[in-house]
Amino acid sequence: MAEVQLQTQTRADEAFDCLQTAIVKGDLAPGEKIGEVELCSRFNLTRGPLREALGRLESRGLLVRRPHAGVKVVSVSADELIELYRIREVMEGLAARQAAERMTDEEIRDLLATLDSHEAMIEEAQGQAYYQAEGDYDFHHRIATGSRNTKLAQMLLGDLYYMVRMYRYRLSTSAGRPHMALGEHRSIVEAIAQRDGELAEFLMKRHINAARQNIEKKIQEGVLTI
C-alpha cells in the first residue's frame, strides 16, 4: 500500500479504504474470519484506528461482528444478491429521473464520451469481465452523482455498489450481454439528454431488471454458485 498518502486523512480512513477495497476485490473472501492483529500487521497500523474502521465497515454491512468472537466478512446469499438488484432498480430509477432533470449539459457530454470509451474497452478487452465491470460502474456512478441527491448518491455509492461489486468481480458476464448493456446505457443517456426524466427512470429500471434476470438465470443454471 502507499506508504505516504495525503496526510490530510487520518489513519482510520486509510484503514477503512484498505479494508474496503480488500473486501471488494476479494482479497478477503466472504465468510472469512479475520483477526485484528493479523490485519494490523498486514496493513501496518495499530488496533485503535483499525477498530474504528471496523466499526464503520460493520455499520455499512460489509462486516458482521459478534462481541468477543471476532469479525468476519459478510457473505451474501444468492437470494440476497437478487434482493440487492431489486433495491438498485428503484433507487437508480430515481437517480436517472433526477439526473435527467439536473445534470448540466457538460456532464451529459462527458457521459456520452465515457460511453464511447466503454465501447472501445469492450471491443478491445473482449471477455475481460474486469474492465467491463469497471466501465459499467463508472456509468452508474455518474448517474448517481448527477442526480444531485446527496443522500441517494451516498447510499448507492457508499453502500450498495460495494456489495454488488464484491460479487461482480467473480461474475463472468454472459456473452453478448456487454454489448446489450451498452445499448441500454446509450438509450438512458439519450433520455437524459432530452430531459425526459420519466423515460430515463423507466429505461434504467428495465436495464437493472435485465441484469438481475441475467444473474438469476445463471444461478438457476448452476453456473454461478455463491
Query: Under the rule (CB under 8 A), what is the footprint of a copy of itself?
Result: 8-10, 12-13, 48, 51-56, 58-61, 67, 80, 83-84, 86-87, 89-91, 93-94, 98, 149-152, 154-155, 158-160, 163
Which C-beta is closer to DNA: that of 49 or that of 197?
A: 49
- Stretch binding DNA (CB under 7 A), from 35-43, 77-85, 149-157, 192-200: 35-43
Cα–Cα distance measured from residue 168 to residue 183, given in angstroms and rounded to the nearest whole number: 20
Residue 41 interacting entry, from DNA, a copy of itself, none, C-beta within 5 to 8 Å by type: none
Cα–Cα distance measured from residue 15 to residue 25, given in angstroms and rounded to the nearest whole number: 15
- Give the contacts of 52 (CB within 8 A, at least 6 positions apart): 12, 15, 16
Residue 154 CB, nearest approach to a copy of itself (Å): 6
What distance lies between CA 8 and its chain's CA centroid? Answer: 26
Residue 11 interacting entry, from a copy of itself, DNA, none, C-beta within 5 to 8 Å by type: DNA
Which C-beta is closer to DNA: that of 43 or that of 167?
A: 43
Cβ pair 26, 169 in contact under 8 A: yes
Q: Is 41 an interacting residue with respect to DNA (CB under 7 A)?
A: no
Length of the chain, in residues = 226
**Residue among 42, 51, 102, 148 that touches DNA (CB under 7 A):** 51
Cα–Cα distance measured from residue 183 to residue 55, given in angstroms and rounded to the nearest whole number: 40
